[in-house]
Chains A and B, each alone.
Chain A
Amino acid sequence: NAGVTQTPKFQVLKTGQSMTLQCAQDMNHEYMSWYRQDPGMGLRLIHYSVGAGITDQGEVPNGYNVSRSTTEDFPLRLLSAAPSQTSVYFCASRRVSGNTEAFFGQGTRLTVV
């Protein structure tokens, strides 16, 4: 059982480049989300989804796009990377019903130069 698979683990981008962070889960969870983790800021919610075709903005959505075409996949797109987007990114999934734990991917360390 793979859980939440997040790729890549590390990435360096130049300012203005675009890229997609991949996230896939095999637990049939309705809820998937992306967080960014900056020193002293904890985990801040970027975007989340409660099912295929449904997405919503979190606390810090600017500069990021998401889509949810299947239950399993929830990619995060940076259309034009900026140095302020240098961070560690986590994908997480959980069931919507009941207060169950969230399962996290291993994280992506992104550096924008």
Chain B
Amino acid sequence: AQKITQTQPGMFVQEKEAVTLDCTYDTSDQSYGLFWYKQPSSGEMIFLIYQGSYDEQNATEGRYSLNFQKARKSANLVISASQLGDSAMYFCAMSLGSSNTGKLIFGQGTTLQVKP
């Protein structure tokens, strides 16, 4: 069964430091995509970064990078130089390419609090 697991319900980080949010996934598909979304207290879902299963290099988007370890089935999000505005809930998600339905499944989320 396809599953996303985020084992850290809550995390704290000091402003300007880097933080890693963990995500592991389970699928037997060879083609899949991994996503990270941010949900601030206002509630909207904001897309951060994407990694394809066949991408050899880790994805980066500004201060966000995705540490993709395919053999370990992990897709951790690294936020460098944390800012107060990074305080939010973060969700890891997976899409399954071979099924071609477009379906996205999500993990339980990690709440990140950035301390000044």
Question: Which residues of A are at the interface with B, using a C-beta cutoff of 8 A?
Answer: 30-31, 33, 35, 40-45, 48, 50, 56, 58-59, 88, 90, 92, 94-97, 99-104, 106-107
B102 touches A35 (CB 8 A): no
A52–B33 Cα distance when bound, in Å, is 24
Q: Which of B47, B95, B109 contacts A99 (CB 8 A)?
A: B95
| Chain B residues within 8 Å of A103, by CB | 47
Q: Mark B5-28, 1 if CB is under 8 A from A, else 0.
A: 010010000000000000000000
- Cβ-closest chain A residue relative to B108: A42
- Docked complex: B33-68 residues within 8 A CB-CB of A: 33, 35, 43-45, 47, 50, 52
B102 touches A48 (CB 8 A): yes
Question: Which residues of B are at the interface with A, using a C-beta cutoff of 8 A?
Answer: 6, 9, 32-33, 35, 43-45, 47, 50, 52, 91, 93, 95, 97, 100-109
| Chain B residues within 8 Å of A95, by CB | 102
A107–B102 Cα distance when bound, in Å, is 20
| Chain A residues within 8 Å of B45, by CB | 90, 92, 104
A101–B29 Cα distance when bound, in Å, is 19
Q: Which of B44, B105, B109 contacts A45 (CB 8 A)?
A: B105
B107 touches A33 (CB 8 A): no
28 contacts between A and B (CB under 8 A): A31-B101, A33-B103, A35-B106, A42-B6, A42-B91, A42-B109, A43-B91, A44-B106, A45-B103, A48-B101, A48-B103, A50-B101, A88-B43, A90-B45, A92-B45, A94-B95, A94-B102, A94-B104, A96-B100, A96-B101, A97-B100, A99-B97, A100-B50, A102-B47, A104-B44, A104-B45, A106-B43, A106-B44
Distance in Å: Cβ of A93 to nearest Cβ of chain B: 9
| Chain B residues within 8 Å of A100, by CB | 50
| Chain A residues within 8 Å of B35, by CB | 101-102
Q: Which of B44, B103, B108 contacts A107 (CB 8 A)?
A: B44
Q: Which of A41, A92, A96 contacts B108 (CB 8 A)?
A: A41
A71–B72 Cα distance when bound, in Å, is 38
| Chain B residues within 8 Å of A88, by CB | 43
